[in-house]
Structure 1
Amino acid sequence: MKKLTNIIISLTIALSICIGLIGCSTSNVTQNNNSPMSNNKERETYKETLKVYNAAEYIDETTIADFEKEFKVKVEYAEFESNEDMYSEVVSDPNAYDVLVPSDYTIDRLIKEGRLARLESTKIPNIANVSSEYLKPQYDPNNEYVVPYMVGTLGILYNKKMVSSPIDSWTSLFDSKYNGKILMWDSQRDVLGATLKMLGFSVNSNNADELSQVQSKLIAQRQIIQGYGEEEIRDKMIADEGAIALMYSGEAKTAIDQNPNLKYVIPKEGSNKWVDGFVIMKNTKHLEAAHNFINFMCRPNIAVRNMTNTGYTSPISGAWAEFNNNKIMFPTKEELDRCEAFLYDASATPKYNDLWTIIR
């Protein structure tokens, strides 16, 4: 019996060893299949990886897939909620991204701080598709650093069923009769700029007394607003959960397309007209791919797709006919003449930051 037991034990041990060896062999085969073969396939599909950083919900992502397919370049695409968030990230890690899509005042800052690569114009021939009115901005008069991507305005979106009369002034955002029904887009320069305009000042004011007046207005406003937010305030307006909101033109168009009771207005006091653009980080190791990406996005058919998806206006004039002169996408000259662009001022920025900390 003891001998039989020993035989059984020996057979059991042998069987265990065999199973273990088979398991190790299987494991090694799996690792080999998932590592070199997979990596080789990846290398065959994509020549390199391009990292693009854009604002949230600001592109038709199928256009990125088409770029990848045509140029054999993998795009790692990430989104930011505000220019301030984006700036902080790229300053802390200048190698994190290759292509950015900031707003004009942040582009202005990045240029002045020497963080951007100069563009090679011969590699972006499709810049010829950009309407001349959006080229040569004050901060980049020769378009050495930026190619315009989207343009628009800052204004008020309101629900016609929930207001007593048509809205035409920034003062409505501070009117207590809309207590609990006011929504504010959570963006420093936009909130401060709208309030400055309401008070009759420039959106780029650096005057201590004027900024003090803005602070008083916005602190008092906190008692009557429903809250600050980003895309969720657009969704609240669509759902009739707010009466008035500070909003960008593209978000407003998207909302109106889903709720015909909504209306967008550029207030009579004036506002911000902006141009967001493609720029390339100075330290990029993918300069060719970055230029190809920007040039690809300047094709009229690609611009149409991005306009359709986002509700914003591309500066590519060949894309405009598709949108039947939509009044939100294409403001009148009179409306634009009372607007101004945000600019970067190194001495004003700390004041804006301090003011924003107090308000928020």
Structure 2
Amino acid sequence: MMKKIFSVLFAVIVIALSCSASFGVAAKQIDVSKLKGTEINVYNWGEYISDGAEDTLDVNKEFEKETGIKVNYTTYDSNENMYNKIKSGGANYDIIIPSDYMIERMIDEDMLEKINFDNIPNYKNIIPKYKDLYFDPKNEYSVPYNVGMVGLVYNTKMVEGTPDSWSIMWDKKYKGQVLMFNNSRDAFGIAQFLLGIDVNTTSEQDWKKAYQKLKEQKPVVQSYVMDDVFNKMEGGEAAIAAYYAGDCIGMAENNPDLAFVYPKEGTNIFVDSICIPKGCQNKDAAELYINFLLRGDIALANAECLCYATPNQAVLDNEDYSFRDNEMLYPDEEHTPTTEYFHNLDSETLMLMTSLWDNLKIEGNDVMSVYIGLITFAVIVVVYFIYRTIRKKKRESMY
């Protein structure tokens, strides 16, 4: 671990020297001096930026130091929670980092600002294959931040052999030791891959089949998690979890008993990208922040700390980048799993998915049992008050 930290610090220093003029380039479009003393509100996934832990670079503090712009930084644990908070108007943000399908949805609902790429000269560092993607085909609303795939992380001391299928998450042998995603799209995606169903299907029957599969799994699941997966897997509290490859590398660094595999049925590939939501209060500073994140030294610090595949060519070209030959992040053609992107779903399918997910989380069957429980409680209350009233009248008749 210390070897990795020293290599990161060395690489940051070297690249910083070569990139020291980056803000000067941006300043041709943005007068940084006028933004000094202002603030930006950044809303990002949990544990999704180099934050100074274990002597890594604190990206936000470095931005504040170089620009004089204060960063107010808060986190979310799923695309859906992020979307709901912004949709409700409960808070204003200048930067968000959603996944591809959510970006597509937010563009469709006019929730994102177009980005002025004249203010982002470091966009040249983005690898061409991560431009012109389906969710932003004209490259108007988003800038790639990280690339990843979903797989299985498992404890080699608790799991027999090397799993190669999503089906192990249904194995009764591991009852109470399985962690499942606590967000609908990823959870349904795993069931759909296992069943051979298109993850972007609009068929009600297909979604109900996936729901039934998740319902079958529920007795085996210890808990539905997002960020909690780190403590549980690193601490040996669970044997198997579905999670993002980059995070699994980080977990394995903290617990050498952990291993990772891409299941044979296929998996989700995703591109998380930086966006500016409608209602932002400091768009120039937001674009300056995006350009900063794309700078070679900053992108390297994030790539080393987060362990995700990078879309930044400047990082991949750096010989000191410790993951540049990592087969999990950059598998060769022979070992690349079958992948599929999530796409935005139409409103009816979204409502169906949400309803099925709510049913699963409430009871694992349907909400009828909840209604029956409430009705039963109400009947008991009514009977109790009738009983008290009758008793009271009987007492009064005795006097």
Fold agreement, TM-score > 0.5 = yes
Q: Which moved more, 1:205-214 or 1:273-282?
A: 205-214
How many Å apart are 1:334 and its aligned residue? 4.7
Amino acid at match of 2:344: Y
**Aligned-partner SS, 2:275:** strand
Corresponding residue number in structure 1 for 2:222? 226
Aligned letter for 1:55? W
Matched, 1:48 2:41: no
Contact 1:145 1:280 in 2 (8 A): yes
AA at the equivalent of 1:98: D
Establish whether residue 298 from structure 1 lines up as the match of residue 294 from structure 2.
yes
1:57 aligns with 2:47: yes
Change (3 A) 1:183 1:94: closer
In our comparison, the structure showing a higher alpha carbon Rg is 1
Tell me which amino acid in the other structure corresponds to 2:353: Y
**Conservation of the 8 A alpha-carbon contact between 2:35 and 2:285:** no
Q: State the 1:189 CA deviation.
A: 0.7
CA offset digits 1:316-351 (Å, max 9, x no partner): 122134124112222333555610111101232111
- Equivalent residue for 2:169, pick from 160, 170, 173: 173
Shift of residue 242, structure 1, vs aligned partner: 1.6
Match of 2:365 in 1: none
Provide the rounded CA distance (Å) in 2 between the counterparts of 1:44 and 1:288: 10
Instruction: Give the Cα separation in 2 of the matches to 1:225 and 1:248.
Output: 18
Per the alignment, residue 329 of structure 1 pairs with 329
Please tell me the residue identity of whatever aligns with 2:173: K
Which of 143, 154, 157 aligns to 1:158? It is 154
**Deviations for 1:122-159, whole angstroms, at most 9, x for unmatched residues?**
11111111111211110211210000011100111112
Could you tell which deviates more after superposition, 157-166 or 242-251? 157-166
Q: CA deviation at 1:94?
A: 7.2
Which structure 2 residues correspond to residues 133-282 of structure 1 after superposition, within 5 A?
133-282=129-278
In the alignment, structure 2 segments of 5+ residues that lack a partner are 1-32, 52-57, 362-399
In 1, the alpha carbon distance for the partners of 2:100 and 2:208 equals 25
Distance 1:270 1:44 in 2: 50
Amino acid of the residue matched to residue 124 of structure 1? Answer: I
Q: Secondary structure at the match of 1:141?
A: coil
Mean CA deviation greater in 113-122 or 318-327? 318-327
Deviations along 1:37-66, one digit per CA (max 9) or x if unpaired, are xxxxxx999431111100111001311111
Is residue 153–residue 248 contact of structure 2 (8 Å, CA) maintained in 1? Answer: yes
Q: TM-score, normalised by structure 2?
A: 0.76
Quick one: distance in 2 between partners of 1:223 and 1:152? 29
Q: Specify the SS of the correspondent of 2:243.
A: strand
SS at match of 1:246: strand
Match of 1:35 in 2: none
Relative to structure 1, the CA distance from residue 220 to residue 263 in structure 2 (aligned partners, 3 Å threshold; closer, same or farther) is same
Inter-CA distance 162–95: structure 2 relative to 1 (3 Å threshold): closer
Q: Is the 8 Å Cα contact of residues 185 and 229 (structure 1) preserved in structure 2? A: yes
CA RMSD of aligned residues (A): 1.8
Distance across 1 between alignment mates of 2:142 and 2:332: 25
Tell me if the contact between 1:99 and 1:281 (Cα under 8 Å) persists in the aligned partners.
Answer: yes
1:325 aligned counterpart, secondary structure: coil
Aligned to 2:360: 359
Gaps of 5+ in 1: 1-42
The residue number in structure 1 matching 2:346 is 346
2:77 to 74, 77, 81: 81
**Equivalent pair of 2:155/2:257 in contact (CA under 8 Å):** yes
Q: Secondary structure at the match of 2:219?
A: coil
After the TM superposition, which of the residue ranges 325-334 and 297-306 deviates more from structure 2? 325-334
Q: Distance in 1 between matches of 2:34 and 2:143?
A: 31
